[in-house]
Every structure is written in structure tokens, then in C-alpha cells.
Amino acid sequence: MTESRRVVIGRFVRGAAGSGVAVAARTAGALVLNKLLAVYGGPGGLTLLAHFQNLMALFTTLPNDGTHVGAVKYLAPLRPGSGRYRAWLGAALLLNLLAGALALLALVLPGPLVGVLRLGPGQKVLLGLGLLLLMGYALAVAVLLAAGRLRDYVWLTVGLSIAGPLAVAAVLLRGGPVPQALLAYLLAQGLLLLPAAVVASRAGLLPRLRGRLSRAALRGLGRFLLMALSTLLFTKAVSFVLREVLVQRFGLEATDLWQAVAKLSDNYGMVVSSVLGTVYYPRLAALGGAPAAQGRFVRLVLLVLAPALALGLALLWLTRAWLLPLLFEPRFAAAGYLLGPQLLADWLKFLTWTLLFLLTARAQVGRYVVFQAVSTAAYALLLVLLLPRLGLLAAPWAQAADYALLLLWSLWYFRREVFS
């Protein structure tokens, strides 16, 4: 291994370790939350949690995966308080407000979005308020990440990871219903906007906005919004519909088995996405002016991730007999047969993510949307073919086959940039 390879890999590993506190906090919070709903939420409690989190994702994907990703890219090289900095920040704030308005409108209009949760009018208002607060928190965190204030990000993430499960426990342990606990979870997290805004403001990262909105900034962030929109339509919405189909076909209690495996996947997937989002993506974006170096960086990260992920996922498979009951409840040991194909699907997915980040770093909207659309179409077709034959097993096996095809396509598509 050459010196340059050691330096690059060492920087990536050190950066991943540096964000370990935030990753550990998010993972621990998610595991505690899953355990609470599995034990005290009754049959279907875990599925209701996943449904609620998926509902939140439907409303927050546009700002989080679009506006905020773009804000990090464009704010990072600018001096806080400069005219260009204010322009990009003002555009991000406006787009956040528009996303919030769309979320409130969707909640007010009649439809199936909150049907399973059976929320009343007052609870829908609280849901909308919580979503607005959470969007504001996420924008403040994006501003901190753009300024390289990783320590502040870490401690805010720790607070977020503690607040949600504490609120859920406070409701469930006194016999409150699951929907009420889920609303408390959202509002507790949304209230972290206050400390996040205070930290960012004291650091001089939230200057007073004045002057006209920048059309160039809106167009620049708009490209990232389009990519986030494709994620919303082709990933989040599909997950939402799939859960509805499984509940209708197999019932809440049986769907809980698949949901347990999917939640476990979400937990370790959160670890990988956190590392890629806070360590890998910023470095990848910084190398945008040097395509050859960018390609080498991707190749080296793949060389580290592929065996490391395979080892970690293999350990999960070997410990499945006691891990699932430990993380959820004894009855979830029956979900072990679903874990193998889910682990394979996730290994393929994480490697695919690593390659597709190239499109995000280069803001190649059209190609990103095509990748998402093709993947979703293949996944839907595989589900249609496999559900009648495999039952619940169809969900992880369809995902594994879909990501295998997408990874092969990605390797071929980026062969010159990454492997030349």
C-alpha cells in the first residue's frame, strides 16, 4: 500500500471514529425506542413506530436530503455573514418553510397518510408543529456541519437520541396509547431546535437576513431538492406503501416480524449513513475539482467498507438467535429466517450508496433520478413476482436482488472514474 493510500484510509477511519459518539447515541436511542414499542406497544406496536417514522420521512426528506445537503455544500467554503453566505442561508430557510407548508397541507387534506395511526384533529396539529420544529432543528445542524463544528453536532445528536425515547417511555409506562407516545417522541425531538439555534447563533452562523432572495441560490438548492424528490417518490413512498400492503395481506402481528428485521437494518444502516454523510460525503465534495483524486478516494473507501461491512453483518447473522429477542421481545426470535436475505441486501445497498454519492457530490440531478427510478421499478416488479410465492420473505429477497442489479450497474457506470 502506498503512503498516499495509507493517508487517505487513515483519514477516513479517524473521521469515522470521530463521529462515533453521535453514531453510538443515535443507535442506542433507536434500539431503546424499538424495545419500548416491542414490549409495551402491544401487537403491531413496532409496525406503528415504523409507520410513524416513515410518515415523518415523507415530510422531512425534501429538506433533509435536499435543501440541507445542498446548504452544507454551498455554505462550507463561505465566510459566515458574507453576502453570499446570507443568500444561500436565506434560500435554504425559504425552501424549508415551503416544505413545512406542504406538510401541513398534506395533513389537513383527507387521505390515508395518518389513517393507521388514527389521529384526531388536535393530534394532527401537534404532528404538524413537531414536523416544523424538526425541520428547523435539521437546518441549524446543517449550518453547524457546514462550518465544521462536529463537536456541537455530536452533542446535539446525543440530546436528540435521549429526548425521543424518554418521551415515549413517559407515555407508555403510564399506560398511554401508542399514537400519543409517538407524538411525544416527535415533539421532544423538535424542541431540540432551541439549543441548536442558540449554539449556531452564538457561533455567528445565523446572521440576520436582509436584502432580496437570490435566484441563483434557489436554483442551486433546487437541484438538490429534485434529487431528494426522487428519493421521496422512489424510496420513502415505496416503503410506506409496502408496509401497508404487508399489513393488509398478513396482519399487524405477522408484519411485526418483518418489521423487526427492517428496524434492525435501519439501526445499523443509520451507523453507515452517518459515517458516509459526515465523513465520506464532505471529503468527496471537496475533491470535486479533481476527478482523478475523487475516483481514487471512492475506490479506497470501497476497499475498506466491503470487507468491514461483510464481517459486521456476518456477526449479526451468527448471533441472530439471541440478538432479536434481546433487542425486541422473545416472540421476535421467529423473525430469524428473514435476517439472512436482509443482511445480504444491506451489504449490497451500502456499497451502492458509496458509488451513488458521486452523483450527489457532482449535483448530477438527471442521472441520480434515473438511477432511483430504475431501482424502484425493478423492486416493485420483483415484489409483484415474489410476494405470492415467498410471503414475507419476498420483501428482503426483492431488495437484495434489486440492489445486486443496481450495484452491478453502478460499477459499470463509474468504471472509468473509480477503476481506471
Query: Is 285 found in the same domain as 188?
Result: no
Is 237 contained in some domain? no
Query: Is 49 found in the same domain as 14?
Result: no
**Residue spans of the chain under pLDDT 50:** 1-3
**In residues, how long is the chain?**
420
Q: What is the pLDDT of residue 1?
A: 42
Is 231 contained in some domain? no
C-alpha span between 178 and 36 (Å, rounded): 10
Query: Is 390 found in the same domain as 262?
Result: yes
Q: What is the pLDDT of residue 358?
A: 85
The conformational region for residue 369 under phi > 0 = left, psi -120 to 50 = alpha, else beta, is: alpha
Cβ–Cβ < 8 Å for 206, 143: yes
Is 131 contained in some domain? yes
C-alpha span between 154 and 134 (Å, rounded): 17
User: Where in the sequence is the domain holding 354, given as residue range(s)?
Assistant: 1-21+251-420
Query: Is 299 found in the same domain as 393?
Result: yes
Is 123 buried (19+), middle (13-18) or exposed (0-12) by CB count in 10 A? middle
pTM for the whole structure: 0.70
Query: Is 411 found in the same domain as 315?
Result: yes
> What is the Cα Rg of the chain in Å?
21
State the total domains in the chain. Answer: 2
Query: Is 86 found in the same domain as 131?
Result: yes
Q: What is the pLDDT of residue 2?
A: 44
Query: Is 89 found in the same domain as 201?
Result: yes
Query: Is 368 found in the same domain as 316?
Result: yes
Query: Is 268 found in the same domain as 415?
Result: yes
Q: What is the pLDDT of residue 273?
A: 81
Query: Is 313 found in the same domain as 259?
Result: yes
Q: What is the pLDDT of residue 3?
A: 44
- Last residue of one domain, picked from the residues 216, 241, 270: 216
- Last residue of one domain, picked from the residues 158, 189, 216: 216
Cβ–Cβ < 8 Å for 331, 46: no
Cβ–Cβ < 8 Å for 229, 62: yes
